[in-house]
Chains A and B, each alone.
Chain A
Amino acid sequence: EAGVAQSPRYKIIEKRQSVAFWCNPISGHATLYWYQQILGQGPKLLIQFQNNGVVDDSQLPKDRFSAERLKGVDSTLKIQPAKLEDSAVYLCASSLVGGGTGELFFGEGSRLTVL
């Protein structure tokens, strides 16, 4: 079974530039998450989708971050304009709904460096 796919793996940009990350979850997983992981910290939830609807985006800095999951499958996270403090690994995860262990399956992440 293919895992969660993310791209790009690495991105370096100047502050005030924009960047977009892509995620393709495990087939059949209705729930998709974007987490931000700053070096030395645990993952922090940015946004959670159920199919193509937003369940929780309370910690998403909406003045600069946006995310969509238009067809209920893959998702894009955008940052515009980027700030230095956005340097982090952006993790995408997916999970089944309505049963199972509730386990989140993570991708390998997209590492962003803002200069």
Chain B
Amino acid sequence: GESVGLHLPTLSVQEGDNSIINCAYSNSASDYFIWYKQESGKGPQFIIDIRSNMDKRQGQRVTVLLNKTVKHLSLQIAATQPGDSAVYFCAEKAGTYKYIFGTGTRLKVLA
């Protein structure tokens, strides 16, 4: 069946360093992807999205890369800050406004 997964369950990075969070998806027909950030006790919050006709999209301190050949997404966070500590999910559009979420990666920022 369709699935979206992440390679690393926990990622620890030093404050100020760049973070890279990875995600693999299985449905080659998916045409839209979203990265969400979830802080403890809160609902997921939109970070950035990308359509399948793009391979890169940049936001403020974040960049999403899409490699359709190997069905892989990554989220890059520049100059990681303590406020970036959270669980990050990628979500794959599996139908009209239906999204499948991956397992998540916990990002820990070390002072």
What is the interface of chain A, defined by CB distance below 8 A to chain B?
Answer: 4, 31, 35, 40-45, 48, 55-56, 91, 93, 95, 97, 101-109
Q: Which of B68-104 contact A (CB under 8 A)?
A: 89, 91, 93, 95-104
Say whether B103 contacts A104, CB under 8 Å: no
With A42-B89, A107-B43 already in contact, the answer to whether A101 and B49 are too (CB < 8 A) is yes
Instruction: Provide the bound-state CA to CA distance between A105 and B97, in Å.
Output: 12
Interface centre among B96, B97, B99, by most chain A C-beta atoms within 10 angstroms, is: B97
With A42-B89, A56-B95, A97-B97 already in contact, the answer to whether A106 and B103 are too (CB < 8 A) is no
Interface centre among A42, A91, A97, A109, by most chain B C-beta atoms within 10 angstroms, is: A42
A–B Cβ pairs within 8 angstroms, 30 of them: A31-B97, A40-B104, A42-B4, A42-B102, A42-B103, A43-B44, A43-B101, A44-B101, A45-B98, A45-B100, A48-B97, A48-B98, A55-B96, A56-B98, A91-B44, A95-B97, A97-B97, A101-B46, A102-B32, A102-B93, A102-B97, A103-B34, A103-B49, A104-B34, A104-B44, A104-B91, A105-B46, A106-B43, A109-B42, A109-B43
